[in-house]
Amino acid sequence: MKYKHAVMMVVLTIISSFYKPNIQTLPFILELYDTNTIQEIMKLDKQDIELLSKMRYIPYLSLYLQDSNFQFNKLARYIWWQDQYPYYDLYQIIIEVNLDKDLLLTKTYADFYQDAKPVTNINTIDVLVNKQHYLPSDYQPVLNNGLQQDCYKAIQELLLVAKTHNYFFDIKSKYRSYDYQKWLYSYYQTIADDADRISCKAGFSEHQTGLVVDLAPKGKQINEIIDYEGYSWLEQNAHTFGFILRYPENKDMLTGIQYEPWHFRYVGKEIASILYENQWTLEEYHELYKDK
């Protein structure tokens, strides 16, 4: 035990000699991984080490890091693809993800409802509501103009700053009750071949949290936002106000929802910046990021 402790202290000293992150993050890495894995971790850029220090334990991390084709920013995708194909070796996992094979939807949108569980962190800012985590039918947050208070303040600030750049947006949708979502889903079933591609069953919609806004160019419909000149600004700056593009392009296999350029979710500035910088969905954040 004394030898192991001494080795860990040496590793800590070596890491600290070239990298000075938050002093509280390094012991977490040392507790989770063996010496060989830590040696591979030391070869990463310091921002990647900082991020890794806040993630949950990653099985086979040393094997990932030793592969010359490994790309740290695709770690969440590697893990997801490995879950889908556990009989693949890690080399095949890395190659296929690097070729974007994981971006091809491998199941129908309705399949995401299988084994759904009730939401457990219902009152947290990063609450995960999707086709695998549902809200109770009687859940209704405290609202201010159709949004939770912090979300309302943040979107007002975003809209005000957007105006200074001559970009103008309308909020087309905010909070939706369980009953309204139930009606809406039924309506989509009557007009669409695949309602689950464009909507959610009652209880599975983020809109029930009061932390979501659907935006459109002023005086236009939400589906026109992608062609609006201010959309590029919105994509690049929403996170500074605490919002994320909730259903990005080519992430269907994680979110269970097609690309929705108008759907922005409030998670607070800190979490939004993490997701923006790593190009993560909220699902990837919950899968990888360590709960502090």
CATH 3.30.1380.10 for domain 109-288? yes
Q: How far is CA 125 from CA 58, 150, 178, in A?
A: 25, 9, 19
- The answer to whether residue 193 scores a pLDDT higher than 70 is yes
pTM: 0.72
- The answer to whether residue 40 scores a pLDDT higher than 50 is yes
The dihedral region occupied by 56, where left means phi > 0, alpha psi between -120 and 50, and beta the remainder, is beta
Q: Which residues contact 60 (CB under 8 A, 6 or more apart)?
A: 90
pLDDT for 19: 39
Residue 144 pLDDT grade (very low, low, confident, very high; cuts 50, 70, 90): very high
pLDDT tens-digit profile of 76-133?
Answer: 888 888 887 777 888 888 988 888 877 765 568 888 898 899 998 899 999 999 999 9
